[in-house]
Amino acid sequence: MTPSGGIGRVRRVTTSTASDPALDVLHRVFGYDAFRGEQAAIIDTVVRGGDALVLMPTGGGKSLCYQIPALVREGTGVVVSPLIALMQDQVDALAALGVRAAFLNSTLTFEARRAVERALVDGELDLLYLAPEALRSPATRDLLDRARIALFAIDEAHCVSQWGHDFRPDYLELSMLHQRWPGVPRIALTATATAATREEIAQRLDLAEARHFVSSFDRPNITYRIVPKDRPEKQLLELLRTEHGHLPGQSGDAGIVYCLSRASVEKTAATLVDNGIDALPYHAGLPASVRAANQSRFLREDGLVMVATIAFGMGIDKPDVRFVAHLDLPKSVEGYYQETGRAGRDGLPSTAWLAYGLADVVQQRRLIETSDGDAAHRRNLAMHLNAMLALCETVECRRTQLLAYFGQSLTEPCGNCDTCLSPPQAWDGTVAAQKVLSTVLRLARERGQSFGVGQVVDILLGRDTEKVRRFRHQELTVYGVGTDLAEPEWRAVVRQLLAQGLLTVEGVHGTLVLTEASGEVLAGRREVRMRLEPARPAVAARTRKAAPAADLAPADVPLFEALRAWRAGEAKAQGKPAYIVFGDATLRAIATARPADLAALALVSGVGETKLDRYGEAVLAVVAEP
Ligand code: ADP
Ligand code: ZN
C-alpha cells in the first residue's frame, strides 16, 4: 500500500518496528523521527476504528492525523475539504511522498473522473479528497458504497458552525456519514477552537462518541505585534524592507497582507509593486482565473507577497509564509488567529503584524450597527469585536491573552510578542477620559449635537477652525481644556474609550455617543487605565537576519541558499510548489548536517524513502560542491 519501488536500498536507522505500523509509515513515507504532541494518540484512536475530534493550531500537524491511519487501515481514506482549489496541490504533495492520492471535484474532466472512480473501486487509492457538496449527490454516495473506506476525515470542521466565520451549509449534511457508513471511523479537524465551537462541531457532525483531542494552541515561533496605525502603507513597507528582506534587487520573504476591502487590496498591492516588491492581489471581485493564477504563483514561487481579503488563505498550506500583516482590524480573535496562523507552519521564526488605529474601531462599530440581522446577531458581532479590541489594547503578553481566549494558559509571559519585548506603560487616563466624555455630553445636552472624533479633538485642543466658529464651539466650557495632550494622544484616548465600551459610535458618520458605562467615569466612580505606546515599537525582531536563514550558523547559510536554488529549479521543472520538493526546515537540517552519503541523508527529518530515492543523489551533489 505504501510505495516500495527501489527504496529498500538504504535502510533508515531508526527505532521503527514492524509492531507499530503507524510509526513505520511516519519514518518510511514522511521521513520524520517522532510524532508531535497528540498525533500518536489521535492516530491510534482512528487506526483502531474510533472517532476523533481534533483541535490543533495551524501548522500543528493535522494532516498526518488522517493520512497515516488512511495508510495503515484497509481501504481508502476519504477526506472532505471545502478547498477545491488546493486539492491538486495536496494530491501532488502526497504523490511526491509516494502515496496514492486523488481528488474528485467539479474541475475534473469526465475521463479523469472516471479514472479516479475506477481506481477507488479497485482499491488503488490511499486517499481521496472530496468537496462537501459532492456528498449530496446520490452518484457519489453509491460510488463510495462500492469502495472500501478506511475513514472519513472532515477537514476545516469549523465550517459547520453557523456562528463561525467560515460557515458552509453543505457541512451540515455531513452528519449523514455516520448514518450511512456507521462502521467507518470519522476524524474531524479544525484550527478554530473555542469551547463553544468545539461543542457545536461535535453536535452537528454527530460526533457524540468521538474522543476530543485539544492541543495547545500556542505557536511559539510566531512573534505577535500590534502597532498603532499611523501611515499604514509606509509602515508596511518598512516592515517588509527592514525585517523581511524586500530590498531593491533582492527577493524577500513570502508573506500575506490582509486588507478589509477589495479597494484597499488593489491599492496596497499597487503601492507595493510601485516600490519594487513582488506583490499580487486576491479578492472575491477578481475573475476566478486571475485568483487561481495568483494563488498558484504565490504557492510556487519564492518570496511573493499576497495582498488579499480574508477570502484568501483557508487551507493554504504553504509552510514558509514568513509574515502575515493586517492593515485593518480583524473582526474576531478567531479570525485573527486563523489568519496569523498561516505564518510559519514550518516552525521557523515568523511575524504576525497588525496595524490598528482609531478609524478601525469607528469603522467596525459602524459596520456592526448597520449590519443586517437581528439584535442577537449584532450582539454576537460586538462580542467578537470587543475581544479583538481587548487584545489590541492589552498591556500584558499578547500570547497569554490569545491563549486565554481559547481557554488555555501560559505559565509565564512569552517573551516573543511586542508587549513582552518592549513593555508598554499603563497610565491613569481617567481625567483625559472625563474630558472627552464631558465634551460629548455637553455637545449632546447643551446643543443637541453629536460629532465625530475630529471635531471633539479640535474642541479639546481649542482650535480655531471654520467648523468650530460655525457651531460656536469656542463657547463651550470644555473648549481648550485638552492642550496637555497632542492630537495623536487624544485620538489614542478616544480609541481606547471606544475599545473599552466607554464610548460608542452611531450612524453612518460615526458620531460619538456615550454609553451606560460613561456615566461612571464622568461621576468619578471608575478609573480608566490606558496604554502608553512605547516610544519605539518592539525592535528585537529587527536585528534578526531575514528568515528563513535566521538562526542558521553563518557558515551554513551559503549551503542553505545553494539548496534553495537547487530546489527552485527542481520545482520549476516539475511545475510544482517548492515545498513539495522539500520544506525549508528540511533544507536547513541538510545544510547543518552536511550528509556525506545516502544513509546520512536518510536520517534528516523530512527525507522519506521516496524523496531519498528521487532526490538523494542530487542533494548530495549540492552538499559536496566546494
Ligand atoms: P496543519 O494541517 O495542522 O496546519 P500540517 O499537517 O500542514 O499542519 O503540518 C505542518 C508541517 O509540520 C508540515 O510541513 C508537516 O509535514 C510537518 N509535520 C507534521 N507532523 C510532523 C512530525 N511529527 N514531525 C515533523 N514534522 C511534522
Ligand atoms: Zn508575550
When pLDDT is averaged across residues 83-107 and rounded to a whole number, the result is 91
Question: Is residue 20 over pLDDT 70?
Answer: yes
Mutation to probe ligand 1, out of 35, 38, 63 (largest number of atoms < 8 A from CB): 63
**Closest-lying ligand 1 atom to the alpha carbon of residue 33:** 24
Alpha-carbon gap, residue 239 to 227, rounded angstroms: 11
Task: Let me know how long the chain is.
Answer: 626
Compute, in angstroms, the gap from residue 97 CA to the centroid of ligand 1. 14
- Average pLDDT over every residue of 9-35: 76
Ligand nearest to the CA of 226: 2
User: The C-alpha cell of 591 is what?
Assistant: 545544510
Domains along the sequence of the chain with CATH:
35-214 (3.40.50.300), 222-356+394-422 (3.40.50.300), 426-532 (1.10.10.10), 545-624 (1.10.150.80)
Q: What is the pLDDT of residue 95?
A: 95
Alpha-carbon span 51 to 267, nearest angstrom: 47
> Which residues place a Cβ less than 5 A from the ion ligand 2?
397, 399, 413-414, 417, 420
106: which DSSP letter? T
Alpha carbon distance 511, 509 (integer Å)? 6
Is 200 near ligand 1, meaning CB less than 6 Å away? no
Q: For position 534, what pLDDT does the model report?
A: 65
Instruction: Give the Å distance between the CA of 422 and the centre of ligand 2.
Output: 10
Q: pLDDT tens digits for 392-412?
A: 998 889 999 999 888 888 889
Question: What is the model's pLDDT at position 59?
Answer: 82
Q: For position 9, what pLDDT does the model report?
A: 35
The residues near 91 (Cβ < 8 Å, ≥ 6 apart) are: 101, 102, 103, 127, 129
Task: Give percent of the chain with pLDDT exceeding 70.
Answer: 94
Residues 307-366: pLDDT tens digits? 999 989 877 878 899 999 999 999 999 889 989 999 998 889 999 999 999 989 988 988
- pLDDT per residue as tens digits for the range 237-276: 999 999 999 988 777 899 999 999 999 999 999 999 999 9
- Tell me the pLDDT band of 455, cut-offs 50, 70 and 90: very high
Distance (Å, whole) CA 39 – CA 49: 15
Top mutation candidate among 25, 30, 42, 215 for ligand 1, by most atoms within 8 Å of CB: 30
Model pTM score: 0.82
Ligand 1 neighbourhood includes 37 CB (under 6 angstroms)? no
**Cell match 458504497: residue?**
145
Per-residue confidence band for 531, with pLDDT thresholds at 50, 70 and 90: confident
pLDDT of amino acid 354: 98
Average pLDDT over residues 592-607: 95
Over residues 206-224, mean pLDDT: 93
Q: Which of 103, 137, 131, 105 is CA-nearest to residue 119?
A: 103
Kindly give the distance from the C-alpha atom of residue 214 to the centroid of ligand 1, in angstroms, as a whole number: 16
Confidence category of residue 594, pLDDT binned at 50, 70, 90 = very high
Q: How far apart are the two ends of the chain, measured CA to CA in Å?
A: 41
Atom index in ligand 1 nearest the CA of residue 34 equals: 23
Distance in Å, CA 421 to ligand 2 centroid? 7
Question: pLDDT digits over 148-199, tens only?
Answer: 999 999 999 999 987 666 788 899 999 999 999 999 999 999 987 678 888 8
* Ligand 1 pocket: which of 14, 24, 32 to mutate (most atoms within 8 A of CB): 32
Q: Residues 458, 480: contact at Cβ < 8 Å?
A: no
> For residue 388, how far is its CA from the centre of ligand 1 (angstroms)?
28
Asked whether the predicted pLDDT for residue 293 surpasses 90, the reply is: yes
Q: What is the mean pLDDT of residues 450-473?
A: 95
What is the rounded CA–CA span in Å between residue 456 and residue 466?
A: 14
Residue 1: per-residue pLDDT: 38
CA 35 – CA 14 distance, rounded (Å): 13
Would you say 83 and 156 are in contact if contact means Cβ atoms under 8 Å apart? yes
Ligand nearest to the CA of 423: 2
Distances (CA, A) of 99 to 2, 309, 444, 516, 569: 6, 34, 69, 61, 23
Ligand 1: which of 222, 314, 345 to mutate, most ligand atoms within 8 Å of CB?
Answer: 345
Mean pLDDT of 439-455: 93
Confidence of residue 542 (pLDDT cuts 50, 70, 90): very low
Residue nearest to atom 17 of ligand 1 (CA): 61
Residue 535 is predicted with a pLDDT of: 60
Q: Are 518 and 382 in contact (CB under 8 A)?
A: no
Q: Alpha helices, DSSP H only, in 394-486?
A: 398-405, 418-421, 430-447, 453-460, 466-470
HEC letters along 30-45: HCCCCCCCCHHHHHHH
Reduced 3-state DSSP string for 562-573: HHHHHHHHHHHH
Which three-class secondary structure state does DSSP give residue 58? Answer: coil
**What does the block give as the cell for 430?**
481617567
Element (H, E) at 108: none
pLDDT computed for residue 550 by the predictor: 61
The amino acid present at 470, given as its one-letter code, is R
Nearest CA to ligand 1 atom 26: 32
- How is residue 174 annotated by DSSP? G
Q: Is 291 helix (H, G, I), strand (E, B) or coil?
A: helix
Report residue 8's pLDDT band, with 50, 70 and 90 as the boundaries: very low
In this model, does residue 73 exceed pLDDT 90? yes
Which residue's alpha carbon is nearest to atom 27 within ligand 1?
61
Interval between CA 37 and ligand 1 midpoint (Å):
11
Q: Chain-wide mean pLDDT for the chain?
A: 89
Which ligand is closest to the CA of 585, given by its number? 1
User: Higher model confidence: residue 374 or residue 354?
Assistant: 354
pLDDT value at position 377? 86
**What is the tens place of the pLDDT at every residue in 97-145?**
999 999 998 889 999 999 999 999 999 999 999 999 999 999 999 999 9
**Spacing, Cα 372 to ligand 2 middle (Å):** 37
What is the mean pLDDT of the segment spanning 479-492? 92
Q: At 79, phi and psi to the nearest 5?
A: -105, 120
- 3 state DSSP class of 517: coil
